[in-house]
Amino acid sequence: MGDDVTELKVGESSFPAIATVYQEFLDSWEDPARRQTWLELYQRGQVSFVPNVLPEQVVQLTGEETLHILRSRFGEAVNVALSAEYADPDYRAAELPTILHSPVADQPDSGWLKWTNMVGINARTVGSFWNMIKYALTLPATQDSIHMMPIWEPGVAGSIYGMSSWQLNQEFYSSELALLCPALDTIEKQLRAVVHLLHVMGKAIGMDVIPHTERFSEMVLAFPEYFEWLQREDTIIVDHSADLHLAVQKQISAFLHAYGPAMAGDEVPPSRDELFHESSDEAQRMRLLFGLPRDVEGRRARRGQLIHHLFRYGYEPVPATMAPPFRGLQVDLRPEARSVDSNEQIWREYQITQPTPMSRVFGPLARYKLYEPLDNNANWEIDFSQPRQMVWQYVCGKYAEMQRSYGFDFMRGDMAHVQMRPFGVPSKLDRYYDILGAVKQFVQQERGIRSFGYFAETFIAPRDVMGYGDEFDHLEAAEADTTLGDLQSTAVGSPEFLQRLRYYIDLATTRQCVPNFTVMTADKDDPRFDSFYLSGNAVRLFLALFQADMPSYMGIGFESRDIHDQPAANEQYTKLYIFKETDGPKATHGPYQWGKNGFLFGTITRMKLYLDAIWPTLQGRATRWLIPPSATASNAVVAWTQKDKQPDYVFMANTHPAQVAIRFGIPGLPAEWLLRCEFSTASSVLEVDRQLASNGKQHRVITLAAGEGRVYRVLEQDEQFGETVHGPEGTAA
């Protein structure tokens, strides 16, 4: 890093916003001279992200400013990414120019996912796909992959995980981008162009693969045979037989004959068999039932009519469930489980007949019917030896089409913990073991994208809690590369945090699927979980990013998240933008409000800048633990170095949120090594701790502040009397 960067070095007597208030960051970015200096650092390639711009400011950049920044950094690649030709989702990925290739395109397999540092983005928090580019300007090279949370049209409840069709969500269309680039006049072209730009910026991009839809989605109504159905009379399920979809098909055909096609002039097939014949064209069936893809409101209204028609006969898709025993439903008789809609239709919620502690019924969702049932579904049992192959082909084909159209590099498998086989993983595996694993295999094998990875949403729960059997056996059988885990559901420094981290490290070294160091996820950025983030946030990210051989996941908004001693307004939680509710406890009114935690933002900025300086040396190197996380939670200090013969750095962290670690040794290092402090998340380091020598047994540390992460460089013999390159206060900010 050049002189321009070191001139911005932060110390106790320099730029004060790091340790003071959020407002000073806001004001500093508005200073033209400072702003230009920071932008030029990025544009000249001296840093991998734009420093010191708060997320709420960067997403307010104009389109012209954003394009100028990108063109200054990446040149002609930006224009190529935005061109009409290459933004066409039908353009063959194999024929794209090299400058638009994914940064992982040349990987021989999906193993790269086991090393990536991922950031999850819900487009609702930034407003559009295009604004993801603006936010990505704040992400360093270390955070090299982005998980795009669901991108499809949501259903009535507004949840992005309750997809109602295969159409992209029009909420995420950018009029600004369309004005800048008139050829990008559809949401599909904009998404393709945005993925191109993120690839140019060095980021791998992932999509959600969801094994369910909204309960009355277009997919459910157009393909009743791909889902499970029940018939209800008031509070009694009167029929849930295996072939009930045939009766549903009959009523859908009757609806078309009674109300006509959605588009006047289209011909309605004379019979149910012709309408739902396996060779019938999906696009034509969708057009008959719902109308044109671009007519969002028209399709929604038409779907409502069809739902009302089916409801008169008591037909409903079986709702999705979570956790054993999964099967066996009855109507929930509680008064609060009964609701009446605007059409005077009485809806009922459902419950599992013999639930376990984690059993849930997701009333708004319907899962694909992947297997035939036993005994005509008399006892809600599944025959896993009879996969419904046309359903598997449909789901795999649809997601493979999404991958091909937009260039996604990996998938996040939603609800990957679902393992519905009562005996766990079978002794013999086939291609119909798990639908999420099947999507990965389909893209890799049928589409030839060997680098396409699978990041699973599981919480590494104990045996038989979230699914049947052992969760890691299931993940390996499903060919998941990495899994989310549940480290984010613990407070830094708690016994649970240390024990869980130790367990995850052990899993990473013994199993084929690797747990993530999960910093924060959208589902945990919720008022119920504020206690996890009351302290230790800087060291949480420090631990995640400086372990170069463990993947990590950080949800958008963490970098400036406020400390909430009491629940804050709903608009301050990204979880509540998964939904789109205007009434009730999940309601939001207006856009997402970024946190104002200037101290955390400043510390993370210093961390990212220091990582920029050392990442080329650190990236991809395996970890050797010197003081591993305590399995008994008896020691809050952890320390590690690189596993190879010539380590360059020693890292240490005090995970205790309030207690200073005093007078301890770092074992396992050669006695001749001298360690020089280069970075600390704290504002200062004692002079005696700036350089560590061995006493013949350990390198002694006098103090490590509560919640502090610190980096020491291993000095070569001729470096031991030189000047410190980066003081413990950190690097540029």
Q: DSSP labels for 655-711?
A: --SS--EEEEEE-SS-TT--EEEEEESSS---GGGSEE-B-SS-EEEEEE-TT-EEE
pLDDT surpassing 80 at residue 362? yes
Task: Read off the pLDDT of residues 449-504 as tens digits, 9 standing for 90 and up.
Answer: 999 999 999 999 999 999 999 999 999 999 999 999 999 999 999 999 999 999 99
Cis peptide before 325 (omega within 30 of 0): yes
Tokens of 321: 């469930």
Q: Are 255 and 306 in contact (CB under 8 A)?
A: yes
Task: Read off the pLDDT of residues 554-566 as tens digits, 9 standing for 90 and up.
Answer: 999 999 999 999 9
What separation, in Å, do the N-terminal and C-terminal C-alpha atoms of the chain show?
A: 13
Please give the backbone phi and psi of residue 34, each rounded to the nearest 5 degrees, phi first. -65, -45
Task: Read off the pLDDT of residues 111-169 as tens digits, 9 standing for 90 and up.
Answer: 999 999 999 999 999 999 999 999 999 999 999 999 999 999 998 889 999 999 999 99
**Which sequence spans correspond to the domains of the chain?**
3-211+391-412+511-616, 214-367, 622-719
Q: Which of 502, 524, 525, 440 is nearest to 635 (CA)?
A: 502
**Residue whose tokens read 């309408």:** 275
Q: Are 136 and 557 in contact (CB under 8 A)?
A: no
Q: Are 497 and 532 in contact (CB under 8 A)?
A: no
Alpha-carbon radius of gyration of the chain: 27
pLDDT surpassing 90 at residue 223? yes
pLDDT surpassing 50 at residue 727? no
CATH class of the domain comprising 622-719 = mainly beta
Please give the backbone phi and psi of residue 520, each rounded to the nearest 5 degrees, phi first. -160, 145
Tokens of 367: 């899962």
**Residue whose tokens read 């992932």:** 206
Tokens of 727: 């003081």
Query: Is residue 611 packed enough to be buried (19+ CB in 10 Å), middle (13-18) or exposed (0-12)?
Result: buried
Task: Read off the pLDDT of residues 225-234 as tens digits, 9 standing for 90 and up.
Answer: 999 999 999 9
What is the mean pLDDT of the segment spanning 341-364?
Answer: 93
pTM score, two decimals?
A: 0.95
Residue 596: C-alpha distances to residues 139, 159, 491, 599, 601 (Å): 18, 27, 21, 9, 9
User: What percent of the chain is predicted at pLDDT more than 70?
Assistant: 95
Residue 380: C-alpha distances to residues 358, 364, 371, 428, 645 (Å): 19, 20, 12, 24, 58
Q: Which of 23, 6, 42 is nearest to 602 (CA)?
A: 23
pLDDT surpassing 50 at residue 728? no
CA-to-CA distance for 55 and 177, rounded, in angstroms?
Answer: 19
Instruction: Tell me what pLDDT residue 717 has.
Output: 54
CA-to-CA distance for 484 and 290, rounded, in angstroms?
Answer: 37
Instruction: Tell me what pLDDT residue 587 has.
Output: 95
pLDDT surpassing 90 at residue 9? no
Q: Are 504 and 631 in contact (CB under 8 A)?
A: no
What is the mean pLDDT of the segment spanning 78-94?
Answer: 95
Confidence of residue 733 (pLDDT cuts 50, 70, 90): very low
Task: Read off the pLDDT of residues 370-416 as tens digits, 9 standing for 90 and up.
Answer: 999 999 999 999 999 999 999 999 999 999 999 999 999 999 999 99
CA-to-CA distance for 156 and 712, rounded, in angstroms?
Answer: 54
CA-to-CA distance for 501 and 539, rounded, in angstroms?
Answer: 13
What single-letter amino acid sits at 518?
T
Tokens of 324: 């054993």
Tokens of 382: 């599944």
DSSP-H helix ranges across 157-229: 175-180, 187-200, 218-222
3-state secondary structure of 235: coil
Confidence of residue 217 (pLDDT cuts 50, 70, 90): very high
Task: Read off the pLDDT of residues 12-59 as tens digits, 9 standing for 90 and up.
Answer: 323 344 446 689 999 999 999 999 999 999 999 999 999 999 999 999
Task: Read off the pLDDT of residues 666-721 as tens digits, 9 standing for 90 and up.
Answer: 999 999 999 999 999 998 999 999 999 999 999 999 999 999 999 999 997 555 54
CA-to-CA distance for 523 and 321, rounded, in angstroms?
Answer: 18
394-413 CB burial, b ≥16 within 10 A, e <16: bbbeebbebbbbbbbbbbbb
Q: Which residues pair with 236 in a beta bridge?
A: 233
Q: Are 726 and 610 in contact (CB under 8 A)?
A: yes
